[in-house]
Every structure is written in C-alpha cells, then in structure tokens.
Amino acid sequence: MFSVRKLLALLLSLSMFIAAASHADVAETTKAEPVFVRADTRLQRSLDRIGIDISLPASGKLVLINVPAFELLAIEDGMEAFRSRIIVGKPATPTPLIDTHVTTVRIRPTWRPTPSMIASGEHQDRIWPPGPDNPLGLAAIRLAPSLLIYLHDTNHRELFIEDYRALSHGCIRVERWDWLVSWVLDMALAEVRRRAGGSTTYDIPAPEIPVLIRYYTRFPDTRGQIKSYPDIYRRQADRGALQGIDCAPL
C-alpha cells in the first residue's frame, strides 16, 4: 500500500505534469495565431481617407492589384515598395476579383491555350515552348488554390505603353515582372534575370504572400493624390457578378 507521503508526492507530480501540458498548449496556440497589427503609414491613411476597405499589415508583404488603374502595388511593412503597370482581362474575359496568395514561381514556363481560345480560332492546340516568345514570357507567379490566373511576363511588352490595357483573357501581365519575382523570392534581380535567361523550366516554392485583386475607380497615386479611373467592367452600371476566365495551363 502507498503511504500518505507517497500518495501526496504522486498527486503533486501529476498536477505539475498537467500544468506543464496546459502551458505548452497555450504557447502553441499563441504561436499559431499571431496578433494582426495594422499599419499606420501614409498609404494606409490615404486608403482610409477615401474609404477603401483594406487594412495593411504593419509587417510583411502584400500584393495589391487595382484593375481599373491597370496597376500592381508591392507593399511591404505597410509601405509601397514599388508599382508596376499591368495588363488585365478584357471586359468579355475579366480578371476575377479575389483574395488569394502566391504559391510558386515558375521560371521559363510553357503554355497551352484553353479550349475556348482554340474553339475561337485564336490559337492552335499546341504547347508553346519556353522562352521570350512564350505568351507567359520568362516567368509566371502561380496563385492559390491552383488558379489558372497568373501574374506573369509577356511576349508583347510593347502593349504596356498603351493607356487602355484591358487586353488579356483574365491573367495579369506585369511589366516589372523581374522586380516582382525578385521581391517575392528575396532573390537578387540579377539572379532572377540570369535564371530567366537560362534553358530550364522549373518551379521555385514561394512564401504565401497575400494577393488582393480589387476594383477601385478612385485610388491614391505615388504622391498620395487621389486619381480617378474608368469603370472598365461597368461595375457601377451593372452590379451583377463578373465571372473571370483563365489564361490557360502552364
């Protein structure tokens, strides 16, 4: 039989074990759910001033696409890192307005047109080899969950000089694609260009950087001045849902 002293010692050990396990559970929960801290920056104040419903994180990266402005913003620690001109979907094949995140960067992608592109006679059913003549250009950033909408280079970079750039089948062509890949991967710009100029197609896992594809006809420019943009998808005239169309498998 246990003595009273042994029984008390056993109960004390058991209570200490339970307390330690509970403390570990609390610590793990706290680690898994970091507290969101909202940025207090000029960009955030500009967004607040015109009622744009975005809370920029005080730390970390975020990609914001503004479709009517034909513009991508790379945001880090609540501040603008850089902007890039983009090409978005035509009104007939609009870029979907979604919140997603980066998953992978594909260097020197291949490309195959969608069935609708083939049926329209716009493209033949074939796989385009990697290289500067590929419609996805030299790099494509894939988004979750396995979307057929990418942020990518293009073989028609001359179109970025146009003011009206709703020209794609839904994908987002990025003028400063090399800057974006460098920023997403924390890789030197020269290294990105070296890899893109190589001869191999491969994927690089990327951090899950949030990507917000939004539609704002009023938005601050680089100086914080509010600019107005055309309602290219007629969302203000027609509040019906817009169905995005993909730009074909890699």
- Contact (CB, 8 A) for 167 and 66: no
Query: What is the DSSP-derived secondary structure letter of residue 242?
Result: P
Q: Please state, in angstroms and rounded to a whole number, the distance separating the CA atoms of residues 104 and 170.
A: 19
* Residue ranges with strand state E in the chain: 61-66, 71-76, 79-89, 99-107, 139-143, 151-152, 166-168, 172-174, 202-205, 210-214, 218-220, 226-228
Q: Please state, in angstroms and rounded to a whole number, the distance separating the CA atoms of residues 105 and 185.
A: 8
**Model confidence band, residue 6 (pLDDT cutoffs 50, 70, 90):** low
Instruction: Tell me what percent of the residues of the chain surpass a pLDDT of 90.
Output: 73
From first CA to last CA, the distance across the chain in angstroms is 73
- Whether 71 shows a pLDDT value over 70: the answer reads yes
In a domain, 176, yes or no: yes
Query: What is the DSSP-derived secondary structure letter of residue 68?
Result: T
In a domain, 171, yes or no: yes
Q: Please state, in angstroms and rounded to a whole number, the distance separating the CA atoms of residues 100 and 65.
A: 11
- Contact (CB, 8 A) for 121 and 163: no
3-state secondary structure of 196: helix
Average of pLDDT values for 189-218?
Answer: 98
What's the CATH code of the domain at 114? 2.40.440.10
Closest of 32, 108, 93, 65 to residue 210, by C-alpha: 65
Range of the domain at 166: 42-228
Domain count of the fold of the chain: 1
Closest of 199, 204, 184, 163 to residue 82, by C-alpha: 184
In a domain, 29, yes or no: no
- pLDDT reported for residue 116: 80
Q: Please state, in angstroms and rounded to a whole number, the distance separating the CA atoms of residues 80 and 53.
A: 17
- Whether 203 shows a pLDDT value over 80: the answer reads yes
Q: In terms of pLDDT, which residue wins out, 28 or 49?
A: 49
- pLDDT reported for residue 34: 74
In a domain, 120, yes or no: yes
Reported as a single tens digit per residue, the pLDDT across 129-178 is 999 999 999 999 999 987 889 999 999 999 999 999 999 999 999 999 99
CA angle 92, 94, 99 (to 5 degrees): 165
In a domain, 233, yes or no: no
99-107 and 210-214 beta bridge pairing: antiparallel
In a domain, 202, yes or no: yes
